[in-house]
């Protein structure tokens, strides 16, 4: 039963007026992991929520596969397996009627000639208006080939009014130099306003809520500075290992894979000044300012830790070490854990460390931003009364159990004056009945509508790469051994030692 028949099945979407106009999406990498798990289900969920136009056309580009001459079934299976909003057969049939496929290698001109015919056909048969977004969900080494061929086939432009946009998946390069090179290649084909770099963290409701929390309320912003905040921790922990993706991960590592993009974007949103408007230009300006003021405290040697998970017991299973994983060299120096100790050179944040850590095979899967406040300048209660009270902490929980928690001291009921930490909790699941869209739904819709605020710009990426490059260069060339940490722990001793320099300890999320 669909939400049209029973509104309780799916709560009304208050963004319903944000419906994409006539358009098509050309998906390179149709058969890939990301397309199957995220992109195809997100497209269906958008259609199911009535946010795609009836003319919407999905053109999947796939290289020939033995025994498959029709990828329709594969696309449909991926949708059935991954859709969040339940399968409505009529919506699915309608969406699949607009599915087209182009089979061919991405390095071959012929593939793009076929694609060109398919786009022209969809324009007349389906009424796409010549509006197409090209989604490059493919290995980065193929980006230049695909972009070059799109240009050579004249697909980057439409002679009439139709728009062309390109969506690029991370990683945007391997370091600062390659990021600039990639950007030159993309800019040779598309205008800056036509380029949408996907950092799916920015599509998450909880990440967008950082701006709402800070700038739509009066309570937080006056305290959001070094007069009241002691330090900030940003954690992105996974409890799994490289799980069959060792080939991709080796040579990349945690700092490049998630700190360069997701964690530094979270830092920018947490620390930036209030933008003058919710426009791409104003947001970009503030993020760039704060990222350009961000630096390792002291030296990169004392303020960064790279490490790898060792073999050991984790939750009842004996797991292999990173170096023991299939496809990983015995002497690999790739970081499965990285921690940074950063400072921000501006009036608001001088003296407040921002501790970032990301890793695999840690204690649990969690992403959060924790702001720990200073202790009161004068303590009115006795030390005994305060024995179970720590500094106030505001935790923005990005995933799972999305929400915000505020921890503060409160009197324990009874005849004695004793205090204890308690929490005030906001959880998305409890507070809202509205459906929470997946990040990819929001981002694909925004691309089809040409709305840029949630997409990072090249300068932000370059500033982030410049920072991450300092750590990767140091750890790739130092004689120091890469520290090892026990699976299921919160990282190596060196990461704890780094915080001990400031007399602090990491939170246990
Ligand atoms: N997977 C994730 O969770 C994730 C998350 C964030 C970002 N990303 C990024 O998204 C992109 C895709 O990742 P993925 O995990 O989906 O990769 P993947 O599973 O390896 O899929 C890559 C896709 O590219 C196709 N392909 C590779 N070489 C080709 C060639 N020469 N000609 C035509 N097609 C070719 C593959 O086709 P075949 O099936 O025929 O090999 C497949 O459809 C990457 O840039 C990745 O970094 C992925």
CATH code assigned at 101 = 3.40.50.720
Q: Which of the four pLDDT bands, split at 50, 70 and 90, describes residue 11?
A: very low
Q: What percent of the chain has pLDDT over 90?
A: 83
Last residue of a domain, one of 118, 153, 169: 169
Tokens coding 97: 């009627």
Tell me what pLDDT residue 429 has: 83
Q: Is residue 146 domain-resident?
A: yes
pLDDT digit string, tens, across residues 68-105: 778 899 999 999 999 999 999 999 999 999 999 999 99
Nearest CA to 286 out of 168, 466, 453, 469 is that of: 453
Tell me what pLDDT residue 356 has: 98
Contact present, 290 and 271 (Cβ < 8 Å): yes
Tell me what pLDDT residue 17 has: 53
| 270 and 392, same domain (yes or no) | yes
Contact present, 161 and 171 (Cβ < 8 Å): no
Q: Which residues are catalytic?
A: 262
Task: Identify which has the larger pLDDT, 463 or 1.
Answer: 463
Residue 1 has pLDDT above 50, yes or no: no
Residue 107 has pLDDT above 90, yes or no: no
| 328 and 383, same domain (yes or no) | yes
Cα–ligand 1 centroid distance for 34 (angstroms): 7
| 496 and 399, same domain (yes or no) | yes
Residue 8 has pLDDT above 50, yes or no: no
How far is residue 27's CA from residue 447's CA, in Å, rounded to a whole number? 13
Cα–ligand 1 centroid distance for 142 (angstroms): 9
171 Cα nearest atom in ligand 1: 47
pLDDT digit string, tens, across residues 138-167: 988 899 999 999 999 999 987 777 899 999
31 Cα nearest atom in ligand 1: 43
Residue 278 has pLDDT above 90, yes or no: no
Residue ranges for the binding site?
63, 170, 200, 204, 238, 257, 360
∠ CA 294-299-300, rounded to 5°: 75
Tell me what pLDDT residue 434 has: 82
Q: Is residue 488 domain-resident?
A: yes
| 129 and 219, same domain (yes or no) | no
Q: Is residue 254 domain-resident?
A: yes
Question: Which residue's CA is the nearest one to ligand 1's atom 17?
Answer: 32
Q: Is residue 314 domain-resident?
A: yes
Contact present, 372 and 392 (Cβ < 8 Å): yes
Tell me what pLDDT residue 450 has: 92
Cα–ligand 1 centroid distance for 145 (angstroms): 14
| 363 and 256, same domain (yes or no) | yes
List CB contacts of 229: < 8 A, sequence separation 6 or more.
223, 352, 371, 372, 373, 374
Mean pLDDT of the region 120-136: 93
Pure H helices in 324-478: 428-431, 439-449, 458-477
How far is residue 191's CA from residue 151's CA, in Å, rounded to a whole number? 12
145 Cα nearest atom in ligand 1: 31
Residue 436 has pLDDT above 90, yes or no: no
Pocket test residue of 36, 63, 438 for ligand 1, highest count of atoms within 8 A of CB: 63
Residue ranges for the binding site for substrate?
200, 204, 238, 257, 360
pLDDT digit string, tens, across residues 27-75: 999 999 999 999 999 999 999 999 999 999 999 999 987 777 788 999 9
Tell me what pLDDT residue 21 has: 86
| 374 and 480, same domain (yes or no) | yes
Cα–ligand 1 centroid distance for 297 (angstroms): 37
Tell me what pLDDT residue 294 has: 98
Mean pLDDT of the region 388-394: 96
By the 10 Å C-beta count (0-12 exposed, 13-18 middle, 19+ buried), 217 is classed as exposed
User: What's the Cα-to-Cα distance from 120 to each of 130, 162, 198, 239, 448, rounded to whole Å?
Assistant: 8, 12, 27, 47, 18
Residue ranges for the binding site for NADP(+)?
63, 170
Domain with 106, as residue range(s), is 24-169
How many domains does the chain divide into?
Answer: 2
Residue 4 has pLDDT above 80, yes or no: no
| 120 and 239, same domain (yes or no) | no
What's the mean per-residue pLDDT of the chain? 92
Cα–ligand 1 centroid distance for 277 (angstroms): 36
Q: Is residue 16 domain-resident?
A: no
Per-residue burial over 97-126, b = 16 or more CB atoms within 10 Å of its CB, e = otherwise: ebbbbbbbebeeeebbebbeebbeebbeeb
Contact present, 376 and 386 (Cβ < 8 Å): no
pLDDT digit string, tens, across residues 290-345: 999 999 999 999 999 999 999 999 988 999 999 999 889 999 999 999 999 999 99
36 Cα nearest atom in ligand 1: 16
Tell me what pLDDT residue 3 has: 41
Ligand 1 pocket by Cβ (under 6 Å): 29-35, 63, 65, 105-107, 137-140, 142, 169-171
| 162 and 238, same domain (yes or no) | no
Range in 11-20, 314-323, 350-359, 391-400 with the lowest mean pLDDT? 11-20
How far is residue 172's CA from residue 256's CA, in Å, rounded to a whole number? 10
Q: What percent of the chain has pLDDT over 70?
A: 97
| 215 and 158, same domain (yes or no) | no
pLDDT digit string, tens, across residues 203-252: 998 999 999 999 999 999 999 999 999 999 999 999 999 977 777 888 89
């Amino acid at each position: 039963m669909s939400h049209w028949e029973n509104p309780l099945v799916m709560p009304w979407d208050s963004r319903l007026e944000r419906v994409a106009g006539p358009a098509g999406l050309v998906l390179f990498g149709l058969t890939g992991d990301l397309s199957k798990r995220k992109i195809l289900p997100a497209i269906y969920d958008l259609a199911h929520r009535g946010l795609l136009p009836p003319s919407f056309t999905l053109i999947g580009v796939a290289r020939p596969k033995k025994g498959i001459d029709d990828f329709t079934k594969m696309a449909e299976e991926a949708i059935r397996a991954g859709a969040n909003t339940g399968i409505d057969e009529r919506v699915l049939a309608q969406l699949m009627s607009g599915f087209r496929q182009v089979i061919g290698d991405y390095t071959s001109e012929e593939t793009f000639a076929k694609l060109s015919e398919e786009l022209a056909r969809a324009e007349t048969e389906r009424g796409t208006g010549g509006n197409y977004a090209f989604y490059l969900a493919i290995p980065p080494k193929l980006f230049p080939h695909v972009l070059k061929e799109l240009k050579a086939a004249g697909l980057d432009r439409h002679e009439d009014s139709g728009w062309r946009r390109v969506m690029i998946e991370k990683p945007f390069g391997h370091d600062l130099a390659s990021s600039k090179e990639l950007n030159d290649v993309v800019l040779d084909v598309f205008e800056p306003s036509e380029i949408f770099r996907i950092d799916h963290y920015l599509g998450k409701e909880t990440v967008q809520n950082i701006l709402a929390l800070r700038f739509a309320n009066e309570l937080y912003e006056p305290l959001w500075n070094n007069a009241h905040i002691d330090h900030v921790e940003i954690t992105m922990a996974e409890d799994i290992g490289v799980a069959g993706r060792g080939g991709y991960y080796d040579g990349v590592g945690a700092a490049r894979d998630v700190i360069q993009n997701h964690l530094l974007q979270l830092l920018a949103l947490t620390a930036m000044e209030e933008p003058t408007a919710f426009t791409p230009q104003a947001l970009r300006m503030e993020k760039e300012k704060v990222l350009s003021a961000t630096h390792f405290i002291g030296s990169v040697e004392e303020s960064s830790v790279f490490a790898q998970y060792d073999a050991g017991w984790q939750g009842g299973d004996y797991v292999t070490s990173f170096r023991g994983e299939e496809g990983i060299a015995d002497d690999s120096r790739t970081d499965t854990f990285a921690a940074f100790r950063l400072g921000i050179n501006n009036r608001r944040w001088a003296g407040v460390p921002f501790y970032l850590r990301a890793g695999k095979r840690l204690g649990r899967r969690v992403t959060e931003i924790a702001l720990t406040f200073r202790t009161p300048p004068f303590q009115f209660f006795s030390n005994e009364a305060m024995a179970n009270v720590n500094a106030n902490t505001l935790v923005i929980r990005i995933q799972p159990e999305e929400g915000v928690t505020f921890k503060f001291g409160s009197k324990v009921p009874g005849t004695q004056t004793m205090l204890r930490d308690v929490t005030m909790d906001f959880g998305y699941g409890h507070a809202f009945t509205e459906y929470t869209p997946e990040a990819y739904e929001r981002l694909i819709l925004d691309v089809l509508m040409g709305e840029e605020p949630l997409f990072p710009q090249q300068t932000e990426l370059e500033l982030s790469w410049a920072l991450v490059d300092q750590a990767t260069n140091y750890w790739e060339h130092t004689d120091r051994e890469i520290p090892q940490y026990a699976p299921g722990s919160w990282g190596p001793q060196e990461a704890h030692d780094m915080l001990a320099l400031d007399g602090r300890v990491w939170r246990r999320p």
